[in-house]
Structure 1
Amino acid sequence: MKNVFTHTKKVILMVAMLAAVMGYANEISLIKFGKDLRGTALTINNVKEGNLLSIKDIYGVTLYKEVIEQTGMYSKGFDLTDLPDGNYFFELEKDMEIKTIPFNVKDTVVSFNKNAETTTFKPFVRQKDDLVLITKLALNGEPLKVSVYGVYNTVTDLLFNETIKDEKTIERVYKLESGKYKIVFNFDGKEFTKYINN
């Protein structure tokens, strides 16, 4: 029994060291534990306090959510083998981008497709006097729907919307009169809301 614990400690130490070394080569590293240890070690470099890490199913339902508490390197083990068979993904939401790491569970075997990892850029909103400046990278020309609502006490009224397509760098300027506004962005199956008070 003592040998099993000693062997297990050595395996965990080797996995941790390998995760640390590989983490410097890539921003995100995934290491699957051996047969005796069930789980996957996720290591991410360059995280900031407040970044959001989630595990979601193919329908976008959040199964796990964690706010990163420390800037630098994040490392944690996950047991994904108990998930029902299907497709899932890790999602790391940073200030200006969302990284998606898809994986599949089949008969308690977890497999990752490194080539299917994606990075989606979030819109950046800046206010200058009565102007609202919006920029977004859309490297694949993915459409961005922008909806501007006026906020009157608890009622919102759609004032304007547009869908921007086939632009790699989206730049828009909206002139808004004095008041409260809600701007909703839809892209890649995601929705973000920004409130403006000018």
Structure 2
Amino acid sequence: MNNLKKVMLIAIMVMASTMSFANGDKPNVKVQSVGAKTIALTASGFGTSETQIKLRDEKGSILHTERILGENEYSKKFDLNSLKTGTYYIEVENETSFSTLSVEVSAKSTNVLNNSKVVIMKPVIRRNGDLLDILMPSEDSTSVEVSIYDSNFNRVFKETVAGSNDLRRYDLSQLAQGDYRIKMNAGGREFIQFVAVK
């Protein structure tokens, strides 16, 4: 009877931690043309994590960046008159997600390409002693490649996980002492975190 209670308690704790991982902060991002060459960006749902908003050109150069911390809503107009004709990208990124949307700028107007919106849920990493928990994104079926590299950039582990609301647990106690890089590729984006094994 006691063993059954222990097993049930452990199962409930694992489910609760998985649910808390899954409820990550996912900003709701909306971009509209509001004038000849002006766009309005409104976003909400940042949660408590730091959020970065960037405007990039076709070459990937950052033209404007802002960091938001502790605010749940953001609204700003951008005057694009000084930009050359071309395609630009609005990026909104926080600890758990990455969103991007394209804006075409012509000589006299802007066109927000709402069908170009991409939202990538990042794998969420939590460390508990020698255990490393990674919650895979659940928004789509994108597979996630997880690789662990040592301080000499040698890959010591690699796994490809089908995209699902799947919690993976890795035991770091078998690794030698040192610093390790956890690299995850999801949806064409690369996410990196570092851990130290002592």
Would the TM-score normalized by the shorter structure come out above 0.5? yes
Whether the aligned pair in 2 keeps the contact of 1:83 and 1:108 (CA below 8 Å) is: no
Instruction: Write out aligned runs for 1:63-74 (5 A).
Output: 63-74=63-74
Q: Contact 1:145–1:164 (CA<8 Å) still a contact in 2?
A: yes
Q: Secondary structure at the match of 1:117?
A: strand
* Residue ranges of structure 2 left out of the alignment (5+ in a row): 1-26
* Stretch moving more, 117-126 or 100-109: 100-109
Conserved? CA contact 2:49–2:95, under 8 Å: no
2:170 counterpart of 1:171: no
Structure 1 segment 43-192 matched on structure 2, within 5 A: 43-47=42-46, 48=48, 50-151=50-151, 155-165=152-162, 167-177=163-173, 179=177, 180-192=179-191
Distance 2:166 2:80 in 1: 38
Match in the other structure for 1:16: none
Cα distance change of structure 1 residues 61 and 146 upon mapping to structure 2, 3 Å threshold: farther
Check whether the contact 1:181–1:197 (CA below 8 A) recurs between aligned residues.
Answer: yes
Cα deviation for residue 138 of structure 1 reads 4.4
- Please tell me whether the aligned partners of residues 122 and 137 of structure 2 are also in contact (alpha carbons under 8 angstroms): yes
Question: In the TM superposition, what whole-angstrom CA distance separates every residue of 1:23-48 from its partner, at most 9, and x where no partner exists?
Answer: xxx9434343435xx42222222335
- AA aligned to 2:110 is V
What residue identity is the alignment partner of 1:158? R
Alpha-carbon displacement from aligned partner over 1:94-142 (angstroms, at most 9, x marks no partner)? 2211122222123342111223322210111111222211112143322
Q: CA RMSD in A?
A: 2.5
SS at structure 2 position matched to 1:141 = coil
Question: TM-score normalized by structure 2?
Answer: 0.71
How far, CA to CA, are the matches of 2:108 and 2:69 in structure 1?
30
Structure number with higher relative contact order (C-alpha < 8 Å, ≥ 6 residues apart): 2
TM-score by length of 1: 0.71
Aligned residues: 167
- On the 8 A contact 1:53/1:92 being kept in 2, the answer is yes
